[in-house]
Structure 1
Amino acid sequence: MDIFNQLVDTETFDKVHFMYEIVLILFAVKIAGHISKKLGQPAVMGELLIGVILGPSLLGWLEITPLIEELAEIGVILLMFLAGLETDIDEFKKTAYGSSLVAVNGVILPFIGGFLIGLLFDLSVTTSIFMGTLLVATSVSISVQTLRELGKMQSKEGVTILGAAVLDDVLGIIILSVVIGFAGGESGSVMDIVILVLKILTFFFLVVIVGRFVLPPLFKWGKRLLTTEVILTFGIVCALGFAFSAEMFGLAGIVGSYFAGLMLSLTKFNHELFEKVETISFSFFVPIFFVSIGLIANVAGINASNLLLIVALTIVAILTKLVGGAIGARIAGFSNRSSLGIGSGMIARGEVGLIVGTIGLSKGLISDELFTTTVVIVLATTLVTPPLLKLFFTDTKNGSKTVSK
């Protein structure tokens, strides 16, 4: 260390250390994605695992920092913005019934499963209810990338997963608000829920109004500005602006960015936007998001005392979403294989699960140990999603993509 201090100005090193972190992340994530593809798995699988390898769980070369968190947040927002741009809105409307069934079943089963596991392990009723609420969360950002790699983003199954995820997020936020309200003994909690529902409905109303009547003329005007890359800039402004608005109205930012893309998919600028946003996203921001998921987890710090609880909750988290989503899809008329694929797409908890866990910790609904359990569940469900999607959306006989029935 003394030699290092003599050779390097440590003050300068501390100032520019973030450059080393970004270089390491971007280089490692592309190599890991390549290896994953060589092994027959989606690239995102390796990109997630490299975060675990480089993070505190194994090598300890990287740790989550405010800069990485913020860049990762932009990454997931742009990823969902691209998903919106890719979505066929006519197909989106057609799958509304199936998406609703998938979402509702994917909420009921995980909630009951998490609650019962909590009681089984002698957690309090309030904490058990919160564990059920935690398992309700869904983040399809990882599923979106996997579906894109498999060429299923615009399929009926892919659109159903996206539609179900939006409804799942709304239901999850409402359930979380109810749990926090009653756990805190707030007399106005029922009214708070009513206000929350009204805020959510207002948000979707404003999305349609702005998307239909404000964005098209805004982009036409921007096209005439005498400066460079106006359409790309306006697209990013919309993605971040809609994400910010969604957060202010009580929803996850990724819901806002997805609907920003969905509204812009109706304009003549959608193809130009998609190509340019895809380049900037997957060359910088999205890789940082994938790695950040692995960096958050420190599986090396798991205590043997709560290992059984972690295993039980993880199994329940995976199976209840898989089965719940599959049942809803099967009722909606999908084939068995497609139904299981749709259920698989709902498994990952991702950043939404982490947000719910953080809220529970801040409100005193779960302990620090249970928050660690939450992080492990998020990591496990996120890692299992890509290979399951590949399994159910690929014909194992000849490797071709399955066709919806």
Structure 2
Amino acid sequence: MGVSGAYYLTDSIFTAIFLGCALTATSIGISLRVLVNANHAKTTAGHIILGAAVFDDIGGVILLSILFNFAAHGEFDVFSTLLLITKVLVFLLLTPPVARVLLYFARVLKPASDNSGYEVIITMILVCLFAWLAHLFGAPALLGGFAVGLALSRQFTSPLNRYLVNPFAFTHKMEQSSKALVDVFTPIFFVYVGISLDLSQLDYSTSGVLLWLSLLAIASKLVAGTVAGGNWQKKLIVGSAMVPRGEVGLVFAEMGLKTNIIDNKLFTELVVIIAITTLIGPMLLKWSLNKHGHHSQVE
């Protein structure tokens, strides 16, 4: 749906595919905050949303990797594409356990009396290391940060989990200590995106298309929620939680601009669509949670 709709903004099918892939992203962080506030994060719907968002973003990253490979070589080669997909999947399978092994070493090497921000330093080292490794594999660097996040997560499961149990006390401290990094770098990223925007590129001729694409971006996620089990309220909760593209969509858009897959005009239009979904998504989710609660009380 996203690709067919995006084709109205550009005559290039390649660029339309990129726009469609960028709109597959889901900002689970935004929806998760709404779910936590409503005490709904640990429900069946909450688990479905979390799992779907992970697979959603992995699929988006793989598609973007293929597009970047195509943009770099100027042609679509089946063998190199299959090789790239294999490398990305192997990277995703191997790096979280490897990162968790490194966490064990980091915990052992930590000085007994240390108040120097050791956990923050380890977080930055791991993110930079695996971002570099992802780039080496031919995948977007953000895949490395994603792998480190899986290694830190208590919910991450793998056949090696019985041997690589999450050192929760240490990873929890890493998470808490790293919030300062998020507070510093997130505004910088949004400022950078804002500087890249050229609102003069928007005109009345494309406003209708932008509105149509925004509706498509919202509707496609709501339709995806219908495959979830349960009543229609639960399906609506799942679909609504998948709507916001947020910072994940902005990262994809920024990468497309840097690699010249999209120009400034398309970048601005894509950011506008992402902003609309990011505003509408939480409101839809909050409304659907209220409806679900009311329905449960009636029953």
TM-score bin (small chain): 0.7 to 0.9
In the alignment, is residue 240 of structure 1 matched against residue 127 of structure 2?
yes
Structure 1 gap segments, 5+ residues each: 1-112
Separation in 2, partners of 1:175, 1:337: 31
Separation in 1, partners of 2:246, 2:121: 28
Quickly say closer, same or farther: Cα 1:221–1:141, change in 2 above 3 A. Answer: same
**Corresponding residue to 2:97 among 201, 209, 227:** 209
Alignment of 1:267-278 (within 5 A): 267-269=167-169, 272-273=172-173, 276-277=176-177
Deviation of 1:118 (Å): 3.8
Quickly say closer, same or farther: Cα 1:192–1:357, change in 2 above 3 A. Answer: farther
**Corresponding residue to 1:370 among 245, 249, 266:** 266
Give the partner amino acid of 1:162.
L
Give the partner amino acid of 2:46.
G
CA RMSD of aligned residues (A): 3.8
Separation in 1, partners of 2:23, 2:287: 23
Deviation of 1:379 (Å): 0.9
Is 1:178–1:189's contact at 8 Å kept on the other side of the alignment?
no
Is 2:120–2:177's contact at 8 Å kept on the other side of the alignment?
no
Is 1:139–1:352's contact at 8 Å kept on the other side of the alignment?
yes
Quickly say closer, same or farther: Cα 1:384–1:225, change in 2 above 3 A. Answer: same
Deviation of 1:246 (Å): 6.9
1:115 is matched with: 3
In the alignment, is residue 346 of structure 1 matched against residue 234 of structure 2?
no
Separation in 2, partners of 1:161, 1:360: 27
Separation in 2, partners of 1:314, 1:171: 21
Separation in 1, partners of 2:231, 2:49: 15
Q: What is the CA deviation profile of residues 339-397 of structure 1, one whole-angstrom value per residue up to 9, with x for unaligned ones?
A: 22122222122233233334444555444322211010111111112222222223577
Quickly say closer, same or farther: Cα 1:246–1:336, change in 2 above 3 A. Answer: farther
Deviation of 1:320 (Å): 0.6
Give the partner amino acid of 1:259.
L
Q: What is the CA deviation profile of residues 72-117 of structure 1, one whole-angstrom value per residue up to 9, with x for unaligned ones?
A: xxxxxxxxxxxxxxxxxxxxxxxxxxxxxxxxxxxxxxxxx12322
Alignment of 1:223-262 (within 5 A): 224-228=111-115, 232-233=119-120, 236-237=123-124, 240-241=127-128, 244=131, 247-248=134-135, 249=137, 250-251=139-140, 252-253=142-143, 254-262=145-153
Quickly say closer, same or farther: Cα 1:134–1:188, change in 2 above 3 A. Answer: closer
Is 2:15–2:261's contact at 8 Å kept on the other side of the alignment?
yes
1:94 is matched with: none
Deviation of 1:317 (Å): 0.8
Separation in 1, partners of 2:178, 2:42: 16
In the alignment, is residue 162 of structure 1 matched against residue 50 of structure 2?
yes
Higher RCO (CA-CA < 8 Å; seq separation 6+):
1
1:218 is matched with: 106
Q: What is the CA deviation profile of residues 141-165 of structure 1, one whole-angstrom value per residue up to 9, with x for unaligned ones?
A: 3223333333333433333323222
Separation in 2, partners of 1:364, 1:245: 21
Q: What is the CA deviation profile of residues 44-74 of structure 1, one whole-angstrom value per residue up to 9, with x for unaligned ones?
A: xxxxxxxxxxxxxxxxxxxxxxxxxxxxxxx
Separation in 2, partners of 1:163, 1:369: 34
Separation in 2, partners of 1:396, 1:161: 16
Separation in 2, partners of 1:121, 1:370: 8
Give the partner amino acid of 2:146.
V
Deviation of 1:316 (Å): 0.6
In the alignment, is residue 380 of structure 1 matched against residue 269 of structure 2?
no
Q: What is the CA deviation profile of residues 262-312 of structure 1, one whole-angstrom value per residue up to 9, with x for unaligned ones?
A: 169822415852773376467x34873796599466657631121111111
**Structure with bigger gyration radius:** 1
Secondary structure at the counterpart of residue 269 of structure 1: helix
Separation in 1, partners of 2:50, 2:101: 24
Separation in 2, partners of 1:122, 1:201: 31
Is 2:198–2:265's contact at 8 Å kept on the other side of the alignment?
no
Give the partner amino acid of 2:280.
V
Identical columns (%): 27
Is 2:22–2:252's contact at 8 Å kept on the other side of the alignment?
yes
Separation in 1, partners of 2:126, 2:43: 23
Quickly say closer, same or farther: Cα 1:299–1:394, change in 2 above 3 A. Answer: farther
Quickly say closer, same or farther: Cα 1:122–1:270, change in 2 above 3 A. Answer: closer
Separation in 2, partners of 1:354, 1:146: 20
Quickly say closer, same or farther: Cα 1:227–1:153, change in 2 above 3 A. Answer: same
**Corresponding residue to 1:336 among 222, 232, 237:** 232
1:327 is matched with: 226
Aligned length: 283
In the alignment, is residue 137 of structure 1 matched against residue 29 of structure 2?
no
Separation in 2, partners of 1:238, 1:358: 23
Secondary structure at the counterpart of residue 153 of structure 2: helix
Deviation of 1:220 (Å): 3.8
Secondary structure at the counterpart of residue 23 of structure 2: helix
TM-score (norm 2): 0.74
Alignment of 1:252-331 (within 5 A): 252-253=142-143, 254-262=145-153, 266-269=166-169, 272-273=172-173, 276-277=176-177, 280=180, 284-285=183-184, 288=187, 292=191, 295=194, 302-324=202-224, 326-328=225-227, 330=228
